[in-house]
Structure 1
Amino acid sequence: MTAFEANFDGLVGPTHHYGGHSFGNVASTGNAGQPANPRAAALQGLAKMKALADLGYRQGVLPPHERPAVEVLRSLGFTGSDAAVVAAAARQSPQLLAGVSSASAMWVANAATVSPSADTADGRVHFSAANLQNKFHRAIEHEQTGRTLKAIFGDESHFVHHPALAMHPAFGDEGAANHTRLAKRYDTAGVELFVYGQQHWGGNIAPQRYPARQTLEASQAIARRHGLASERTVFAQQNPAVIDAGVFHNDVIAVGNLDVLFCHETAFAERESVYAELDAKLGELRLIEVPTRAISVDDAVRSYLFNSQLLDAGNGRMRLVVPEECRQQPAVWAYLQSLLGQDGAIAEVLAYDLKQSMRNGGGPACLRLRVALTDAEAAVVHPGVWLTDALYAALTDWVSRHYRDRLSEADLADPHLLPEVRTALDELSRTLGLGALYPFQRSGGKSR
């Protein structure tokens, strides 16, 4: 049986704006209030997807969520027609309207944790939707995330879907952004590395400035429900000091694929023991540890060097997909060039312009959910989401017709925005063949 890693990227939504909703994410808060360009954001993401598909990688698309989330506003006491609900929220609580209008679901590394069939007790691929309970604008995502994943990975003989964990700080779960699967091959049992920010019950070290969004208790619960063997799981605490430096998820300071782990030397609280356990359970880890003397944590955060995609290039080597911002940090770019001068794990570095996403705090790794699939499993994935030349052309045309090229927080009160979004998403779900994916479609598309 053969297997491969597929990347399913989140398509940036029409309400992409810089609301600064994510305390602890330096780029998000630093660019708050500036106008965004949703059209450019979506086209930049699509261009990266197409480039990787052209290199031969299996690339899928995950559709955006409906925003503004009118039903969330209704649950908070706003009444009347959909237009009246949005208008009242804009008058009474513009910050709330901005939160329920966030396009943050585009960062699908936070959508779920995925364990491939080679690792699980029942031999099926397991998905656990992330509760993202630390941030209001993200805590409202998991129900639609679950519907979307079930629509795409619907065959119950191959796929299992778990709901989000309890909405409590003890079970703060941020999905695959704090999870890395390492293996010798995609079709053999691997080692799943769960990285947590703090232990809710009994922990004694935690960041002081910014929140630790992932808990040990959440990571342990995911491993249990996915049926992972203890001898093939590793739980590692993220260094609290780097969380306080703006490393809000592990994927801002480390990335791994197959038997390669690329990380900063400050990534983990107990790095030597983490490396030793991974090496023992994996059977020889290939480690690329970046020292502080080469790249500071601040430069790593500014460039999002580690929020990159590490892709199998064949012959035991990797391609590293980084944001264009890495070129703009001399120390970072010099280090990457030095890696290429060695006969090591990194064969090629590819830089892409994702400025719109980066300014909101998400790089290449944030935009994709990795799913290792066997050929049989891939055959029953909903076919309409695989990126082909035809689908890329259709999606770029769709974005160009439906997305605005400028959006500020004030524009979220525009009564035309919600109908624009629904018209766009209705067409998108037909293009992808996903049927009535959104609640507004199941209600006949009528405003209340």
Structure 2
Amino acid sequence: MSAYEVNFDGLVGPTHNYSGLAEGNVAARKNALTDSNPREAALQGLAKMKHLSDLGIRQGVLPPQDRPAVDMLRKLGFSGDDANVINLASAAAPGLLRACCSASSMWVANAATVSPGADTENAKVHITPANLPSQFHRSIEPSATAGVLQRVFNDERYFEHHDPLPPNLYLADEGAANHMRLCQSHAEAGLEIFVFGRSANREMPKPRNFPARQSLEASESIARLHRIRHSKALFVQQNPVAIDAGAFHNDVLAVTNCNVLLYHEAAFYDRLEVEEKITRACDYPVHFIRANEPDITLAEAISTYLFNSQLISLADGKMMILAPSECQESDSARTFLERVVRDAANPITRVEYVNLRQSMKNGGGPACLRLRIVLAEPEMERVMKNSRVILDENLYNELKAWIEKHYRDHISPPDLADPLLLRESRTALDELTRILALGQIYDFQKP
């Protein structure tokens, strides 16, 4: 049966802002409390989706979450109607209000871990939403994320949904940003690589400056829940040096597609052992494309998000890299990518650049904005029957008009206290659920 990879991108939400919330995220801290442009951010993300769709890549759309999260603020002691809750939080705890306004659900690489049916014992697509306990603003997301994924992937014959893991640091799970897959083709069983940064094992090396987010225990639990076929799960430690440099997720320094692993030499704790284990686990040749420190420094790799590029299979069997425009402006990143494309020994034949500056200023590149899901044809048919989230020309035009109608072109930190922002956001999201045929997925829509 044929199968292909679908990129489901998160739409940037109407409250997109720069609050510098993510510890260990260098870009987010650098741009904290500066002004943002939600309209431009959403249009940039949508333009990336449209470009890939035009290339023949199957492209899906996932909605933003409801923000400000007034229900969370009520749980933290603020009372009254929505406007009063926002005003009280703004006066007493502006940091909490900023966290509850975050549009971080746009980075759906952290939404869930997904294993395709080719890898699982019962041949179903297994989906586990991430619990995201390491950052408060992201820990608000799992319940709503699970609801959206259950709505889009809604047929128990093909999809098996699991609850997020219990929300604690022992089982800290940050989703697909720490999960890679190698395979000969998308339809065949693959090797699922779980990359962790922390463990209950005290002997494992740890970062010193920033906390590691993904735990080994969480990764092992997901592999068990997904019933991944014997010997097809590999657990690899992220390099503590990379975490301390700002690579808070594995996808900042490594990306896979089919039989290609593109990565920086500092990505893994023991890269030689990682390559050896992968080679033993795969009965097909794997292309290890590594950038060494003389090619591009660890700091430059993180600032340009070179390895947060999307590595994509094209219709002709070749691959392309979709890199952030910051790579084009970096001599070392651009030179490395051009060398990769010139090398006939690997299947990558082209590189293109995309402007995602609004997202990049908050520390999210092309790969952060998408959740990769391999679907067989019947599974894809169910997704298209359940909703209208697969991008085509008509949906693109409707979403573009929707963004231009509802989104502000400027948000400064004090604007988050404006109760009108909540009303504008909910009006937009209510209309979006009709455009995407998702039904009443938001709490504010329900009786």
Cross-structure match for 1:446: none
CA distance in 2, matches of 1:435, 1:257: 34
- Is 1:416 the counterpart of 2:420 in the alignment? yes
- Is 1:373 the counterpart of 2:409 in the alignment? no
The answer as to whether partners of 1:313 and 1:347 remain within 8 angstroms in 2 is no
Once structures 1 and 2 are overlaid, which stretch shifts more, 62-71 or 339-348? 339-348
Per-residue deviation, 1:204: 2.7
CA distance in 1, matches of 2:67, 2:249: 24
Cross-structure match for 1:34: 34
Query: What do residues 178-237 of structure 1 show as CA deviations (whole Å, max 9, x unaligned)?
Result: 000111111111000000002124443110001100010000000000001341111000
Query: What do residues 333-367 of structure 1 show as CA deviations (whole Å, max 9, x unaligned)?
Result: 01111222221221110100000000000000000
Give matches, 1:23-62, under 5 Å. 23-62=23-62
Which of 426, 433, 436 is the aligned partner of 1:429? 433
Question: Residue type of the partner of 1:404?
Answer: R
Alignment partner of 2:217: what SS?
helix
Cross-structure match for 1:76: 76
Query: What do residues 316-346 of structure 1 show as CA deviations (whole Å, max 9, x unaligned)?
Result: 5311010000011111101111222221221
Cross-structure match for 2:292: 291
- Is 1:205 the counterpart of 2:205 in the alignment? yes
Cross-structure match for 1:142: 142
Question: Residue type of the partner of 1:181?
Answer: R
Per-residue deviation, 1:315: 5.2
- Is 1:393 the counterpart of 2:397 in the alignment? yes
Sequence identity (%):
50
Per-residue deviation, 1:82: 1.1
Question: Residue type of the partner of 2:272?
Answer: E
Gaps of 5+ in 1: 444-448
- Is 1:162 the counterpart of 2:162 in the alignment? yes
Cross-structure match for 1:306: 307
Query: What do residues 242-280 of structure 1 show as CA deviations (whole Å, max 9, x unaligned)?
Result: 110000000000000101000011111111111111112
Alignment partner of 2:274: what SS?
helix
The answer as to whether partners of 1:170 and 1:201 remain within 8 angstroms in 2 is no
CA distance in 1, matches of 2:57, 2:203: 41
Alignment partner of 2:307: what SS?
coil
Cross-structure match for 1:402: 406
CA distance in 1, matches of 2:273, 2:239: 13
Cross-structure match for 1:319: 320
CA distance in 2, matches of 1:299, 1:327: 12
Question: Residue type of the partner of 2:319?
Answer: M
CA distance in 2, matches of 1:142, 1:395: 25
Name the TM-score, length of structure 2 as normaliser.
Answer: 0.98
Which of 422, 434, 445 is the aligned partner of 1:441? 445
Alpha-carbon RMSD across the aligned residues, in angstroms, is 0.9
The answer as to whether partners of 2:21 and 2:137 remain within 8 angstroms in 1 is yes
Alignment partner of 2:132: what SS?
coil
CA distance in 1, matches of 2:19, 2:401: 27
Alignment partner of 1:385: what SS?
coil
Per-residue deviation, 1:96: 0.3
Cross-structure match for 2:258: 258
The answer as to whether partners of 2:57 and 2:314 remain within 8 angstroms in 1 is no
- Is 1:112 the counterpart of 2:112 in the alignment? yes
Question: Residue type of the partner of 2:99?
Answer: G
Alignment partner of 2:353: what SS?
strand
Cross-structure match for 2:353: 351
CA distance in 2, matches of 1:241, 1:173: 20
The size of the alignment, in residue pairs, is 443
Cross-structure match for 2:190: 190
The answer as to whether partners of 2:64 and 2:105 remain within 8 angstroms in 1 is yes
The answer as to whether partners of 1:105 and 1:141 remain within 8 angstroms in 2 is yes
CA distance in 2, matches of 1:97, 1:361: 20
Per-residue deviation, 1:314: 4.7
Question: Residue type of the partner of 1:74?
Answer: R
Alignment partner of 1:416: what SS?
helix
CA distance in 2, matches of 1:123, 1:20: 41
Cross-structure match for 1:21: 21
